Amino acid sequence: MPYTAARQYLSAADPVLAALIARGAPIGPRAHEDLYLALLRAIVSQQISTKAAAAIWGRFRALFKPEGYPEPRILLEMSDDDLRQVGLSRQKAGYLKAIAEHNERGLLAYEHLAGLSEEAFTAHLTAIRGVGRWTAQMLQMFALDQPDVFAEGDLGLQNAMRRLYGLETTGRALQKEMLARAEAWRPYRTLACKYLWQSLEQQGEWEPLTAT
């Protein structure tokens, strides 16, 4: 993503974003991540606080000595009890194994997934047990750094847009309003989302990558 051009585009397209970009910390490119590892971490982080997720993630990686990398074949050989001892639920242990199985089958190759459209990528990942649309979108935004993803179902994004744009609806009506407003941000909706999240983070209202 050409970040300088994206910031200029969003600033010209939307005065609210222009103000956020002008007073916020600069957001720039980030290195593409190991999708398999990022997906495992996203599952570990679901429905718990950032602090708890970091602790469990650290204990989970400590199971894989010496490097701490959860090799898929080793993960698949572990019992649920092995995984539960680090703080994972039986359900999440099953989800992690499903991800490892997909990786072993070559279904999480970066070269393939990076070229998929948002909907095709989401459909591919949500075929894995335990992976929902939100998780797929977060990987596109943060692991792949794809430029035009919009997570209208994210609670933090909903809160930011309700506050900054005076939106008063809820549920599907709110998501419809958000999608309509975000049309002006194409093809840089990902960066717009990141600045909206940053506005919450500055107020202590958002913890990244801990939603369902």
pTM, full prediction: 0.83
pLDDT value for 111: 83
- Sketch out the chain's domains with CATH numbers: 3-29+149-201 (1.10.1670.40), 35-131 (1.10.340.30)
Nearest-angstrom CA–CA distance, 30 and 126:
24
Asked if 20 and 195 count as a contact pair (C-beta separation under 8 A), the reply is yes
In contact, 99 and 40? CB cutoff 8 Å: yes
Cis before 29? omega within 30: no
pLDDT band at 212 (very low <50, low <70, confident <90, very high): very low
How many other β-carbons are positioned within 10 Å of the β-carbon of residue 13? Answer: 15
Quick one: which H or E segment has residue 7? Answer: helix 3-13
Least confident interval from 29-33, 138-142, 191-195: 29-33
pLDDT tens digits, 50-100: 889 999 999 999 999 999 999 999 999 999 999 999 999 999 999 999 999
Query: Looking at residues 10-31, what average pLDDT do you find?
Result: 94
Which helix or strand (DSSP H or E) is residue 96 part of? helix 90-104
Name the phi and psi angles at 114, rounded to 5: -65, -25
Start-to-end Cα distance in the chain: 27
The pLDDT tens digits for 117-157 are 888 999 999 999 999 999 999 999 998 999 999 999 999 99
